[in-house]
Structure 1
Amino acid sequence: MALLSDFTSYADAQAHANSAALWDLFDGTRAQFNIANEAILRHADGSGRAAVRVAHADGENEILSFDEIAAGAARFAHWLDAAGVAKGERIAFMFEPSLPFYVCLFGAMLQGAVSVPLFTLFGPDALRLRVDDCKPAILLTNAEKAELARSVEGPRVVVADAALMEALLAYPATYAPQTSGDDLACFQYTSGTTRELPEAVRHTHRSLVTLMFAALYGTGIRPGDEFFCPSSPAWGHGLWHGTFAPLGLGVTTGTMGRGKFDPARLMQALQDFGITNMSAAATHYRMMKNTARSSDYSFAIEKLSFTGEPIDPATLEWIDATFGVDACSMYGTTEIGVVLVNYPGAKDFTVKPGSLGKAVPGLELQVQRPDGSATDPGEVGELMLRRKSGWLSTKDRAKIDADGYFYHCGRADDVIISAGWTMSAVEIENTMLKHEDVRECAVIGAPDEKRGQVVKAFVISPRAASEGFVKELQDFTRNRLAQHEFPRIVEFVDELPKTPAGKVNRKVLRDREAAATAEASSAAA
């Protein structure tokens, strides 16, 4: 019987893709299904075949096999049993991709606990917010972050180091999962993409099945690919599209590990690992372009995809010249998944630069006017997704062309996307307001040629404006949230525009910023 992974064309996707066919890709059933089993254990055949390749910033390549991750995950599952962790309890992780990371990630799900990956650059406020929400029984981290982790009340903190891995050897290397497809498997925190504050999206084990639509048609993964995703597995793209999806199909994946991200190191990894398929954030491609060192490396790329934000024309030209393949956008959110794709590897699908592509098989999307009617080609409206209960807003504006391709036309909420990072304006405002010299604050995304947007804060303060005060506010914010979450621009004002209800009107600020940017561009021309 032919599987969906055997087909590569757009026509075949429309003809054969359906929910029942997705289940044929796996061993489990709705009654008995486990992500760790499908992504790791069933591929552990004793051959030592690579599951994950981790490129660390210091130049070390860590190659992890299905066999060793499977054995480690089983031992960690037994360790959780011995620790008295019950099915459904949350186990949080805050450390870089490495053998302990994958052992703990998959071991928790194997045991029936819920895995909660957390970003390694979180400060105390950002960490406390998420820990207070998910209430993990155990928080695993590295030695560097242990003090920070212990400052948050609630979970037992365990350092995932060599000593832990040594202790796990006392447990059996096999474990039989006892979960159903409807059991919770993972909490994935957003950065505020459709909410004022981050909130966990609760994924069940069978989420891996529906994820395959994105894997097959958004990133174009097929058996035999050498895959790589440099995004952190603490976020949706790196975890679901960079980890669970390829491993679920038995495809070796890769990512960046410890240390500061270096685009030249990424290109070195693409060359060393013979990567044929990469999915990355738009900013990864821009950073590689800006190194001006791509000619130092040789590439075997056959399929490329990106997400998070549009790619500028200059970077698209660089991708074409460097890799010789189309850069395929895929669009979605943590809450609704990937819904618009460009079918990488499908020779019968035309990729239009700047387009979000067309719908994943089986989904219906429409751009609508405020009255709910469909827009005409070229007319901007709100992007809506049909669900059983009716039309669901994506909170984005879009348009379609005469051929049915979708184009993104901006966010409909107050989310800021800067260099691929999605940030909540409200979370940044709330943190800045904790500073004793900040009376009022409003945060928006200001247009930026390099990053797409940058965070700009408008601050009312009794203290005199100065460069030193600006840096103090920036450090205050980034040290409490994450290293990328701070205002790159701070403007001190006497008042903020308000709505009749007394709320800060960020739209007025965004419109003023856009007008000022347009005026500056016109003057420069």
Structure 2
Amino acid sequence: MTKLTDYTSYADAQAHANSAALWELFDGDRETLNIANECMTRHADGSGRAAVRIAHADGSDEILSFDQIASGAAQFAHWLDANGIAPGERIAFMLEPSLPFYVCLFGAMQTGAISVPLFTLFGPDALRLRVDDCKPSILITNAEKADMASQIDGLRVVVADQGLLDDIAQYPSTYQPNTKASDLAVFQYTSGTTRELPEAVKHTHKSIVTLMFAALYGTGIRPGDEYFCPSSPAWGHGLWHGTLAPLALGVTTGTFAGKFDATRLMQALQDFKITNMSAAATHYRLMKNAGGADQFQFFFNKLSFTGEPIDPATLEFIDRYFKVPACSMYGTTEIGVVLVNFPGAEDFERKPGSLGKPIPGLKLEVHRPDGTPTEPEEVGELMLWKRDHWETTKDRAKVDADGYLYHCGRADDVIISAGWTMSAVEIEHTMLKHDNVQEVGVIGVPDEKRGQVVKAFVIANREGSDEFVKELQDFTRERLAQHEFPRIVEFVSELPKTPAGKVHRKKLRDAEAAKAAKV
């Protein structure tokens, strides 16, 4: 019988992608389902086939098999039972990709407990906020973070070392889960760009099924791919599109552990002969900035990216060295991926800069403030039809005459100066075309005369000067509009980033507000 994974064209996606066909990819049904079984246990056939390839920052590689992770996860599930952990309790873990990470992730879900992955670079305040919110029964982390975590009153901390693996080894290597499709499986914290404590998005076991449309048509993943996603599995893209989606299809996935290094990533892509990569826009930009891509051999036939649009200079780098179009996919942790460019579909035309079109079955529109749809090329707010009403994505967008959607920045990244409306993203992309600009973050800052003016924070490969500032200003206004350029330029050595790798404009705005308050 033909499955959705057998189809690769855009026409077939429109003709065959439906809920019934999606469920045929899984062992579970609408009543009984377990993510750990779908992603791991059912693929553990004793062959030793690779499940995860880990490129460590220190240059070493680690390959974990479905058999190895499945047996460890089952043992960990029995260990949780022996420790009195009941279904619905939260098990948090703050670990880099490793055998303990995957054992904990899938073992907790097998028991009906809820897995809560946490970013390894969280400091004490960020960790405490999330622990206070989700109230985990156990936090599993490495020895380096254990002392910090132990300062949180009432939190049981377990170190994920060889001792833990030896401890769980006494238990059986198989486990029979008993979860419903509607049971909670994962709490996923967003990257937190708008509030002190971002809300945990709560995913059920059934989420692995609803995710798969986005995986099939956003990353183009299919059995037979050699897949890689360098995003941290503590965040939505790295967990769902980098880990769970490929494993659910029995596809070997790859990931990065430790401090990110673009040259190390390119080495791994060559060594693992990766044919399909999904990454953040920043990962591609950092590979461009690192140089040396001509020293490696690449094997790509599908590429995708998320997080933010890719600037033209980085797209040129991808075309030159990877020789495969990079396909945007757009979504948020809260709503999932909703706009894709169908990697691998030869009959789908990709337009430069476009977010693509909705995944099969979804409806999106661009609306004016009064709720009416915009005309083609008119900028408005991107809305998703969900549960019989329109929900805002909090992003600005436009749609062209052919139905392709384009991102025009976050709603709070719009800069209005002397009545002119400008996009921080558009200004950033233009400035990145300058040969001496490596990274840039743009915000609006208060101005008595104009209300706001554009300020650009620039990382450059030459020394900052008044002459250089004027050069950047002229460069930008010549390519956009006479009013659309940074009136203030500050040269910096680094920019604040979200965990997903995007420029953290809110932190830039907050820092400017704090400086203004001191004046």
Instruction: Give your verdict on TM over 0.5.
Output: yes
One-letter amino acid of the counterpart of residue 237, structure 1: H
One-letter amino acid of the counterpart of residue 275, structure 1: I
Give the SS at the match of 1:265. Answer: helix
Q: CA deviation at 1:263?
A: 0.4
Q: CA 1:339/1:81 → structure 2, altered by over 3 Å: closer, same or farther?
A: same
Q: Do residues 210 (structure 1) and 210 (structure 2) align?
A: yes
Aligned to 2:58: 58
Q: CA deviation at 1:371?
A: 1.4
CA distance in 2, matches of 1:196, 1:365: 29
CA distance in 2, matches of 1:136, 1:23: 32
One-letter amino acid of the counterpart of residue 19, structure 1: S
Aligned to 2:9: 9
Aligned to 2:441: 453
CA distance in 2, matches of 1:194, 1:386: 23
Aligned to 1:275: 274
CA distance in 2, matches of 1:452, 1:183: 43
CA distance in 2, matches of 1:236, 1:313: 26
Aligned to 1:264: 263
CA distance in 2, matches of 1:229, 1:406: 25
Aligned to 1:37: 37
Q: CA 1:193/1:23 → structure 2, altered by over 3 Å: closer, same or farther?
A: farther
Give the SS at the match of 2:62. Answer: strand
Q: CA deviation at 1:377?
A: 0.6
Q: CA deviation at 1:453?
A: 2.7
Give the SS at the match of 2:376. Answer: coil
CA distance in 2, matches of 1:494, 1:123: 27
Tell me the TM-score normalized by structure 2.
0.82
Aligned to 1:351: 350
CA contact (8 A) 2:130 2:197 kept: no
One-letter amino acid of the counterpart of residue 183, structure 2: D
Q: CA 1:361/1:144 → structure 2, altered by over 3 Å: closer, same or farther?
A: same
Give the SS at the match of 1:343. Answer: coil
CA distance in 2, matches of 1:119, 1:388: 31
CA contact (8 A) 1:340 1:359 kept: yes
CA distance in 1, matches of 2:251, 2:234: 20
One-letter amino acid of the counterpart of residue 361, structure 1: P
Give the SS at the match of 1:356. Answer: strand
CA distance in 2, matches of 1:451, 1:361: 35
Q: CA 1:194/1:383 → structure 2, altered by over 3 Å: closer, same or farther?
A: farther
Give the SS at the match of 1:116. Answer: strand
CA contact (8 A) 1:304 1:344 kept: yes
Q: CA deviation at 1:192?
A: 2.8
Deviations 1:431-489 (A, max 9, x none): xxxxxxxxxxxxx999584445378999xxxxxxxxxxxxxxx99x99xxx99979579
One-letter amino acid of the counterpart of residue 55, structure 1: A
Q: CA deviation at 1:493?
A: 4.4
Q: CA 1:165/1:456 → structure 2, altered by over 3 Å: closer, same or farther?
A: farther
Structure 1 residues 44-123: aligned runs within 5 Å? 44-123=44-123
Q: CA deviation at 1:196?
A: 6.2
Q: Do residues 394 (structure 1) and 393 (structure 2) align?
A: yes
Q: Do residues 314 (structure 1) and 313 (structure 2) align?
A: yes
Q: CA 1:117/1:293 → structure 2, altered by over 3 Å: closer, same or farther?
A: same
Deviations 1:384-440 (A, max 9, x none): 00112311110110001111100000101479xxxxxxxxxxxxxxxxxxxxxxxxx
Q: CA deviation at 1:496?
A: 9.4
One-letter amino acid of the counterpart of residue 21, structure 2: A
Aligned to 2:138: 138
Q: CA 1:290/1:277 → structure 2, altered by over 3 Å: closer, same or farther?
A: same
CA contact (8 A) 2:307 2:502 kept: no
One-letter amino acid of the counterpart of residue 155, structure 2: P
Deviations 1:75-116 (A, max 9, x none): 000000000000010000001000111001110001110000
How many residues are paired up? Answer: 450
CA contact (8 A) 2:54 2:98 kept: yes
Q: CA 1:457/1:372 → structure 2, altered by over 3 Å: closer, same or farther?
A: closer
Q: CA 1:120/1:202 → structure 2, altered by over 3 Å: closer, same or farther?
A: same
Q: CA deviation at 1:280?
A: 0.2
Greater alpha carbon shift after TM alignment, 449-458 vs 51-60: 449-458
CA distance in 1, matches of 2:249, 2:5: 8
Give the SS at the match of 2:391. Answer: strand
One-letter amino acid of the counterpart of residue 301, structure 2: E
CA distance in 2, matches of 1:406, 1:452: 24
CA contact (8 A) 2:413 2:443 kept: no
Q: CA deviation at 1:197?
A: 3.5
The share of aligned pairs that are identical, in percent, is 70
Q: Do residues 151 (structure 1) and 139 (structure 2) align?
A: no
Structure 1 residues 237-386: aligned runs within 5 Å? 237-258=237-258, 260-386=259-385
CA contact (8 A) 2:376 2:399 kept: yes
CA contact (8 A) 2:364 2:382 kept: yes
Q: CA 1:122/1:71 → structure 2, altered by over 3 Å: closer, same or farther?
A: same
Q: Do residues 177 (structure 1) and 177 (structure 2) align?
A: yes
CA contact (8 A) 1:457 1:487 kept: no
Give the SS at the match of 1:317. Answer: helix
Q: CA 1:167/1:196 → structure 2, altered by over 3 Å: closer, same or farther?
A: closer
CA contact (8 A) 1:194 1:413 kept: no
CA distance in 1, matches of 2:193, 2:384: 16
Aligned to 2:234: 234
Q: Can you give the 5+ residue segments of structure 1 that lack an aligned partner in the other structure?
A: 416-443, 459-473, 498-525
Deviations 1:21-54 (A, max 9, x none): 1100000112110000000000000000000000
CA contact (8 A) 1:276 1:302 kept: yes
Q: CA 1:344/1:194 → structure 2, altered by over 3 Å: closer, same or farther?
A: farther
Q: CA deviation at 1:495?
A: 4.3
CA distance in 2, matches of 1:224, 1:495: 57
Tell me the TM-score normalized by structure 1.
0.82
Q: Can you give the 5+ residue segments of structure 2 that lack an aligned partner in the other structure?
A: 415-423, 433-437, 447-492
Q: CA 1:452/1:206 → structure 2, altered by over 3 Å: closer, same or farther?
A: farther
One-letter amino acid of the counterpart of residue 333, structure 2: T
Q: CA deviation at 1:370?
A: 1.2
Give the SS at the match of 1:306. Answer: strand
CA distance in 1, matches of 2:237, 2:191: 12
CA contact (8 A) 2:376 2:400 kept: yes
CA distance in 2, matches of 1:83, 1:268: 42
Across the aligned residues of Structure 1 and Structure 2, the Cα RMSD in angstroms comes to 2.6
CA distance in 2, matches of 1:493, 1:225: 50
CA distance in 2, matches of 1:80, 1:246: 26
Aligned to 2:168: 168
CA distance in 1, matches of 2:384, 2:6: 28
Runs in 1 of length 4+ with deviation above 3 angstroms?
193-197, 444-452, 454-458, 482-497
Give the SS at the match of 2:222. Answer: coil
Aligned to 1:425: none
CA distance in 2, matches of 1:284, 1:68: 30
Q: CA deviation at 1:153?
A: 2.2
